[in-house]
Amino acid sequence: MLSLFLKCVIGAVVVLLIAVLSKSKVFYIAGLVPLFPTFALIAHVIVAQDKGSHALQQTALFGMWSLIPYFVYLLAVYLLAPKVPIWSCLGLATLCWVLSAIVLIYAWNFYYASA
């Protein structure tokens, strides 16, 4: 129960930090805060403990490639923001992320299944 409470507090602190930064002169830094590798650290510890260093290395490599869908999302937001309403912009950008993530997963599986 304490663990769940701490996770909620950490999440609330992150949301508060994003809200404060978004209202400041350095509002753009609010986009960096969610990229702190909290979940990556958790995933890397679990993978390393369960599968070893080679699996950790593969997970890190896939993580680097996974920046492509995030880039596609950001590019879509950048291009659509001045042209469509905010919810349409974010919805379409999210769809772009999902589609590019599917392509990445299929490409990764194709490459590593044949290797």
Q: What is the mean pLDDT of residues 59-71?
A: 96
Of residues 52 and 38, the one with the higher pLDDT is 52
Residue 48 contacts by C-beta under 8 Å, 6 or more apart in sequence? 55, 56
Would you tell me the crossing angle of helices 86-114 and 67-80 to the nearest 10 degrees? 160
Query: Under DSSP, is residue 23 helix (H, G, I), strand (E, B) or coil?
Result: coil
Map out the domains of the chain as residue ranges.
1-36, 51-115
In this prediction the pTM is 0.81
For CA atoms 96, 97, 103, 106, the dihedral sign is negative
The per-residue pLDDT for 114 is 65
Are residues 80 and 95 in contact, defined by beta-carbon separation less than 8 angstroms?
no
Count of CB atoms situated within 10 Å of the CB of 58 = 14
The per-residue pLDDT for 21 is 95
